C-alpha cells in the first residue's frame, strides 16, 4: 500500500536516514573554508591598500622635499651671487674714488703754479684732465647704479622662485602620489565621515573634511599645514625678503670711523675727499648718490625650511565576493521572522525579504596614510661670523648678513654615509 | 521465486556500508580542492603585498640611478626570489597644469620661474611582478604553480595570466645625477632670464666693472 506513496514513506524515514550526512558536512566545511579564504584575501587586500597609500604619501613627501630643496638652494645661490657682486661693486667703487684722489693729487702737483690756478679755466689739456677726474667720479656713481639694477633683477628672480616653487612642489607631489597608486582624497575623506573631526596630533586633521568641497580638482596628496595656513610660501619654503643691516647689503647707516674698521668705512674715507674734489671742479656726485644715500639699501631672501606632513589615501571597496551585503555578515541588520507551518515546525525564526542587509556594508576600508618630510639645512641666509674674507683666510671681519658660502639644503638621502630615512 | 543470489544482492543493495566512504571521498576531494585554491590565492595575496613594498624600494633605487638587482632577494623568500621580476625602469613625466600656471603668473611667479620646474621633472616608475605566465606554467616545476599542470580529462588549457601573477607599481621623484637638489651656484642659470642675468653680470660687466664681474665669475666657477 505504501509503495503507492513512496514520497510519503521517504519523508517518514528521513529522521532515521543518515545517508548523505558526511557529504553534507563536507560541503558545509568546504563552504566555511571558502568563506575564510575570502576573508584572508580581503584582509590581504586591506593590507595591500594600506601599503599603497603609504607608498603614495611617502613619494609625495619626498617629491615635495626635493622641490623645496631645489627652490631653497636656488634662493641661497642667488643670495650668494648677490653678496659677491655687492662686494665686487664695493671694491670697484673704492677703486674709482681712490683713483679720483690720486689723479687729482697728481694734477695738483702739475698746477702748483699759482698763476696757472688763477688763469682757470685751464688750457684744453687741463680741461681733459678735469674731465677725467669727473669721469672717475661718475664711474663710481654709475657702478652704484649698476649695483641697484643687478640687485633688482636678482630680487625679481628670487621673488619668482619663492612664488613658483611652492606650487611646483604641490603639483608634482600630487602627480607622483597618483602614479604611486594613491586615490583622490576627494573620494577618500568622505568615506571617513566625521571620524576625522575630532582627530588630533596632526595639524589640520580636524578640519580635513573641508578638502573635498573646497577643491574641485582631484587631490592625491595634501600637506596638512595648508589647512592651518593658506600661505603657500610659508608652508613650503618659508622664506621672505629682508633688508640687510650690514655691509655689503646696506652701507648708508655705517658710522664713520667705526672700530673695527669696515671696508665701508675705508670707502667712506675716500669718498668724502673725492666728493669734495669733484665739487671743486664743478661737479657733484649727487647725480648718483649723496651722503645720505651713499651705498645702497639692499635686500635678500632669508628663511628657515620647515617640515610638512602629507596625507594620501586609498578608497574603500566592496568585499571581494560581495558577501558584505548579506544580512548574516552585517551586524547592524535585524533579522526578521517569518511564520510558516510545515511539518509541525511553526513559529521558527527565519530570514525574510532580501538576503542583502540595509545597514552599512562590510567593506575593505579606506585608508589614510601620513608622512612628514623635512628639508634639512640651516637658514637660507643667516647672520654669521663667516664672510668671504674669512673664507679665503685674508683677515677677519665683523659679522655680516649673509654667509658667503653655499648653505646646502639637502635631502636626508644625500648625506654621505647615512642611511635612507623617511619619517612617518 | 527464491533466488539466493538475488536475495543476497538485494540485501547488499539495501546495505549502506561504504556510503560514508564514498561520501568522504567526494567531500574530502572537495575540501582539498578548496583548500588548495585558497592556499594558492593566499600565497599570491601575500606576495602581492611584497610586490608593493618591493616596488617602492625599486622605485627609490631607480630614481637614484642605482641597480634594482637586489630587490627580489630583499623582499621574497627562498625560491620565490626566482619568481619576482623588476620591470625595466619607466619615467613618468610630471607636468604643470595650465590652471596652476595661471595662479603662479597671477601671483608674480613669471614664466621664467616655471622653466625651473620643467627640468628634472620626472618620476621613476618601478613595477614589480611576482608569478609566471600561463605559458611558463606548462613547463614549471615550481610549487605551487606546478599543481596547475594537473589536467583532468576534457580540461582545457590553463589560460589565466591574471590568476598566475601579481603586480605593483610605485613612482619616486627623479633624484639621479650628481646634484639632484641643485646645490651648485651655477644652477641658478637654468632658465633663460636667469642665464641672461648671469651673462650680463659676468660678461657684459667685465669691461665696465671688472672687479664684480670677475668676483661673480670666480664664485660660479668655484661653486
Place of cell 671694491: A91
Please list, in sequence order, all residues whose beta carbon lies within 8 angstroms of the beta carbon of residue A227, skipping any fewer than 6 positions away: A203, A204, A205, A207, A208, A210, A211
- pLDDT (0 to 100) of residue A122: 46
pTM of the predicted model, to two decimals? Answer: 0.81
The answer as to whether A397 is a domain residue is: yes
Domain that holds residue B193: 184-223
* B13 inside domain: no
Residue A97 sits in the same domain as residue A186: yes
| Residue at grid coordinates 637660507 | A380
One domain for residues A61 and A132: yes
The reply to whether A354 and A405 lie within a common domain is no
Mean pLDDT for A33-59 is 91
User: Is A6 in a helix, a strand, or coil?
Assistant: helix
pLDDT tens digits, one per residue of B135-160: 888 788 888 888 877 777 777 776 67
- Average pLDDT value for residue range A162-188: 93
Contact A67, A232 (CB under 8 A): no
Give the per-residue pLDDT at A343: 59
What does the pLDDT look like over A265-308, one tens digit per residue?
A: 555 666 667 767 767 666 665 554 444 445 567 888 888 777 88
Q: Is residue B152 part of a domain?
A: yes
Q: Choose the weakest-confidence range: A366-370, A407-411, B104-108.
A: A407-411
Of A362, A378, A393, the residue that ends a domain is A362
Measured CA to CA, the distance from residue B93 to residue B125 in angstroms comes to: 10
Q: What is the pLDDT of residue B129?
A: 95
Nearest to A180 by CA among B95, B93, B75, B126: B126
Q: Mean of the pLDDT values across residues A217-241?
A: 86
The pLDDT score that the predictor gives to residue A423 is 37
| Interface contact B187-A176, CB threshold 8 A | no
Q: What's residue B30's pLDDT?
A: 86
The band of A83, judged by pLDDT with boundaries at 50, 70 and 90, is confident
Distance between B104 CA and the closest CA of chain A, angstroms: 6
pLDDT of residue B172: 93
Q: Residues of chain A with pLDDT > 70: what percent?
A: 54
Q: Point out the least confidently predicted range of A15-19, A147-151, A273-277, B5-9.
A: B5-9
Say yes or no: B39 and B61 in one domain. yes
Neighbours of A79 (CB within 10 A): 25
- CA within 13 Å, CB half, A230: 2
**Residue of A159, A179, A364, A394 to mutate when probing chain B, most B C-beta within 10 A:** A179
Residue pair B216/A109 in contact by the 8 Å Cβ criterion: no
Q: Is residue A92 part of a domain?
A: yes
pLDDT of A232 > 50? The answer is yes
Provide the number of structural domains found in chain B.
2
B185 vs B220: CA distance, rounded Å: 6
Position A276 scores a pLDDT of 73
The verdict on B113 and B211 lying in the same domain is no
CB atoms within 10 A of CB A109: 7
Question: What confidence category does residue B31 fall into, taking pLDDT thresholds of 50, 70 and 90?
Answer: confident
Domain membership of residue A20 (yes or no) is: no
Residue-level pLDDT at B167? 93
Share of chain B above pLDDT 90, in %: 35
Cα torsion A337, A341, A342, A343: sign: positive
Residues A275, A141 share a domain: yes
- Asked if the Cβ–Cβ distance from B219 to A153 is below 8 Å, we say no
Domain presence at residue B16: no
Assess whether A279 and A375 both reside in one domain: yes
Q: Domain range holding A353?
A: 323-362
Interface test with B, best of A13, A52, A56, A70 (most B CBs within 10 A): A70
Q: Which residue reads 599542470 in cell numbers?
A: B149
pLDDT in tens, A188-204: 888 876 666 666 566 56
Nearest CA-CA distance, residue B111 and chain A, Å: 9
Whether A204 and A226 map to the same domain: the answer is yes
CB–CB contacts below 8 A, A to B: 253
> B151 and B112 in one domain?
yes
In-domain check, residue B10 = no
Q: For residues A235 and A330, state if they share a domain.
A: no
For residue A233, pLDDT beyond 90: no
**What residues contact residue A294 under an 8 Å CB cut-off, 6+ apart?**
A251, A252, A268, A271
Judgement on whether residues B141 and B44 belong to the same structural domain of the protein: yes
Q: Are residues B205 and B98 in the same domain?
A: no
Per the structure block, which three cell numbers stand in for A105?
Answer: 693729487
- What DSSP letter does each residue of A68-86 carry, written as one string? HHHHHHHHHHHHHHHHHHH
Same domain, A351 and A372: no
In a domain, A113, yes or no: yes
Task: Kindly give, in sequence order, each residue whose CB lies less than 8 Å from that of residue A32, ignoring residues fewer than 6 positions away.
Answer: none
Q: Can you state the percent helix, strand and coil of chain B, rounding each to 5?
A: 60, 10, 30
Highest-scoring range by mean pLDDT, A100-109, A338-347, A408-417: A100-109
Contact A303, A375 (CB under 8 A): no
Question: B172-217, pLDDT tens digit by residue?
Answer: 998 877 788 888 888 999 999 999 999 999 998 898 899 999 999 9
Phi/psi region, residue B15 (left: phi>0; alpha: psi -120 to 50; beta: rest), is beta
Res A33: pLDDT: 86
**CA proximity to A142, closest of A106, A97, A87, A104:** A97
Rounded to whole angstroms, the Cα distance separating B199 from A150 reads 12
pLDDT at A253: 47
Q: Quickly state the pLDDT bin for B36 (edges 50, 70, 90).
A: confident
CB–CB of B112/B104 below 8 Å? no
Mean of pLDDT over chain A: 72
Write the residue in B120, B125, B181 that is nearest to A73 by C-beta: B181
Same domain, B201 and B107: no
A328 and A386 housed in the same domain? no
Residue of B nearest to A86 (CA): B212
**B97 in any annotated domain:** yes
B102 and B165, same domain (yes or no) = yes
Question: Do A331 and A399 lie in a common domain?
Answer: no
- Same domain flag for B51 and B152: yes
Do the domain assignments include residue A30?
no
Query: Residue A235 domain-assigned?
Result: yes
The 10 Å Cβ neighbour count of residue A7 is: 7
Query: What is the distance of C-alpha A66 from the center of its chain?
Result: 8
Q: Which residue in chain A is spatially nearest to B175 when comparing CA positions?
A: A66
pLDDT of A269 reads 63
- CA A28 to chain CA centroid, nearest Å: 58
Residue that is written with C-alpha cell 699759482 in the block: A114
A176 or A100, which is more confident? A176
One domain for residues B38 and B67: yes
pLDDT for residue B84: 93
A91/A354: higher pLDDT: A91
Same domain? B105 vs B122: yes
- Is it the case that residue B51 has pLDDT exceeding 70? yes
CA A52-A58-A60 angle, 5° bins: 105
Do residues B217 and A89 touch, judged by C-beta distance below 8 A? no
- The answer to whether residues B189 and B113 touch, using CB atoms and an 8 Å cutoff, is no
Among chain A residues, CA nearest to B178: A414
Q: Which residues contact A383 (CB under 8 A, 6 or more apart)?
A: A399, A400, A401
Tell whether the model's pLDDT for residue B61 goes beyond 60. Answer: yes
ipTM of the assembly? 0.88
DSSP assignment letter at A311: E
How many angstroms separate the CA atoms of B26 and A90, rounded? 98
Q: What integer is the mean pLDDT of A1-16?
A: 70
Do B161 and B209 share a domain, yes or no?
no
Short-list A421, A370, A314, A420, CA closest to A57: A370
> What's the total number of domains in chain A?
2
Q: What distance in Å separates the CA atoms of residue B48 and residue B113, rounded to the nearest whole number?
A: 42
Assess whether A328 and A223 both reside in one domain: no
Spatial distance between the Cα atoms of A40 and B45, rounded to a whole number of angstroms = 9
Confidence of residue A258 (pLDDT cuts 50, 70, 90): very low
Regarding whether A103 and A130 lie in a shared domain, the answer is yes
Q: How many CA atoms lie within 13 A of A347 on its CB side?
A: 0
SS3 A199: coil
Q: Residue A344: pLDDT above 50?
A: yes
Q: What's the sign of the alpha-carbon dihedral A82, A83, A88, A90?
A: positive
Mark whether B47 and B74 lie in a shared domain: yes
Min Cα distance B217 → chain A (Å) is: 9
Q: Using alpha carbons, select from A148, A79, A149, A92 the residue that is nearest to residue B215.
A: A92
Amino acid at each position: 500500500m505504501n509503495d503507492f506513496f513512496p514520497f510519503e514513506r521517504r519523508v517518514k524515514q528521513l529522521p532515521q536516514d543518515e545517508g548523505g550526512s558526511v557529504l553534507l558536512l563536507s560541503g558545509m566545511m568546504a563552504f566555511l573554508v571558502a568563506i575564510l579564504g575570502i576573508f584572508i584575501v580581503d584582509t590581504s587586500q586591506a593590507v595591500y591598500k594600506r601599503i599603497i597609500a603609504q607608498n603614495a604619501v611617502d613619494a609625495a613627501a619626498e617629491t615635495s622635499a626635493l622641490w623645496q630643496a631645489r627652490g631653497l638652494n636656488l634662493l641661497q645661490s642667488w643670495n650668494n651671487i648677490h653678496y659677491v657682486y655687492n662686494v665686487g661693486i664695493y671694491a670697484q667703487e673704492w677703486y674709482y674714488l681712490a683713483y679720483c684722489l690720486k689723479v687729482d693729487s697728481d694734477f695738483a702737483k702739475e698746477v702748483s703754479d699759482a698763476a696757472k690756478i688763477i688763469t682757470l679755466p685751464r688750457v684744453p689739456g687741463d680741461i681733459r684732465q678735469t674731465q677725467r677726474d669727473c669721469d672717475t667720479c661718475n664711474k663710481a656713481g654709475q657702478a652704484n647704479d649698476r649695483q641697484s639694477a643687478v640687485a633688482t633683477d636678482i630680487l625679481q628672480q628670487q621673488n619668482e622662485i619663492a612664488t613658483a616653487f611652492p606650487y611646483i612642489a604641490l603639483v608634482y607631489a600630487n602627480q607622483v602620489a597618483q602614479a604611486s597608486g594613491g586615490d583622490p582624497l576627494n573620494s577618500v575623506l568622505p568615506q571617513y565621515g566625521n571620524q576625522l573631526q575630532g582627530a588630533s596630533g596632526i595639524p589640520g586633521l580636524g578640519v580635513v573634511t573641508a578638502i573635498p568641497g573646497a577643491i574641485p580638482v582631484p587631490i592625491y596628496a595634501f600637506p596638512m599645514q595648508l589647512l592651518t595656513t593658506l600661505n603657500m610660501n610659508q608652508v613650503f619654503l618659508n622664506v621672505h625678503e629682508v633688508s640687510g643691516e650690514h655691509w655689503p647689503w646696506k652701507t648708508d647707516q655705517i658710522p664713520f670711523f667705526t672700530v673695527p674698521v669696515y671696508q665701508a668705512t675705508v670707502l667712506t674715507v675716500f669718498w668724502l675727499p673725492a666728493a669734495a674734489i669733484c665739487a671743486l671742479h664743478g661737479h657733484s656726485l649727487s647725480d648718483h648718490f649723496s651722503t645720505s644715500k651713499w651705498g645702497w639699501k639692499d635686500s635678500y631672501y632669508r628663511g628657515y625650511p620647515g617640515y610638512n606632513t602629507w596625507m594620501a589615501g586609498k578608497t574603500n571597496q566592496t568585499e571581494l565576493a560581495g558577501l558584505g551585503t548579506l544580512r548574516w555578515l552585517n551586524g547592524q541588520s535585524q533579522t526578521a521572522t517569518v511564520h510558516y507551518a510545515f511539518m509541525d515546525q511553526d513559529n521558527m525564526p527565519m530570514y525574510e525579504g532580501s538576503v542583502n542587509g540595509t545597514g552599512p556594508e562590510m567593506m575593505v576600508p579606506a585608508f589614510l596614510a601620513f608622512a612628514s618630510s623635512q628639508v634639512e639645512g640651516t637658514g637660507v641666509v643667516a647672520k654669521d661670523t663667516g664672510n668671504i674674507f674669512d673664507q679665503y683666510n685674508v683677515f677677519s671681519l665683523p659679522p655680516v648678513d649673509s654667509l658667503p658660502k653655499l648653505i646646502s639644503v639637502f635631502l636626508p638621502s644625500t648625506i654621505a654615509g647615512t642611511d635612507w630615512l623617511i619619517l612617518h | 521465486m527464491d533466488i539466493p543470489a538475488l536475495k543476497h544482492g538485494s540485501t547488499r543493495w539495501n546495505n549502506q556500508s561504504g556510503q560514508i566512504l564514498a561520501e568522504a571521498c567526494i567531500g574530502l576531494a572537495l575540501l582539498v580542492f578548496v583548500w588548495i585554491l585558497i592556499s594558492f590565492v593566499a600565497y599570491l595575496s601575500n606576495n602581492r603585498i611584497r610586490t608593493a613594498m618591493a616596488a617602492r624600494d625599486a622605485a627609490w633605487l631607480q630614481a637614484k640611478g642605482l641597480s634594482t638587482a637586489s630587490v627580489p632577494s630583499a623582499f621574497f623568500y627562498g625560491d620565490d626570489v626566482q619568481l619576482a621580476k623588476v620591470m625595466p625602469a619607466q619615467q613618468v613625466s610630471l607636468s604643470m597644469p595650465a590652471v596652476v600656471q595661471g595662479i603662479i603668473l597671477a601671483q608674480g611667479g613669471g614664466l621664467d620661474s616655471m622653466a625651473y620646474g620643467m627640468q628634472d621633472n620626472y618620476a621613476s616608475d618601478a613595477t614589480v611582478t611576482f608569478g609566471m605566465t600561463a605559458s611558463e606554467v606548462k613547463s614549471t616545476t615550481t610549487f605551487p604553480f606546478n599543481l596547475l599542470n594537473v589536467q583532468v580529462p576534457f580540461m582545457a588549457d590553463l589560460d589565466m595570466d591574471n590568476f598566475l601573477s601579481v603586480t605593483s607599481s610605485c613612482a619616486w621623484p627623479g633624484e639621479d645625477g650628481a646634484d639632484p637638489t641643485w646645490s651648485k651656484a651655477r644652477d641658478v642659470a637654468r632658465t633663460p632670464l636667469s642665464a641672461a642675468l648671469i651673462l650680463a653680470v659676468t660678461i657684459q660687466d667685465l669691461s665696465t666693472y671688472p672687479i664684480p664681474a670677475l668676483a661673480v665669475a670666480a664664485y660660479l666657477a668655484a661653486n
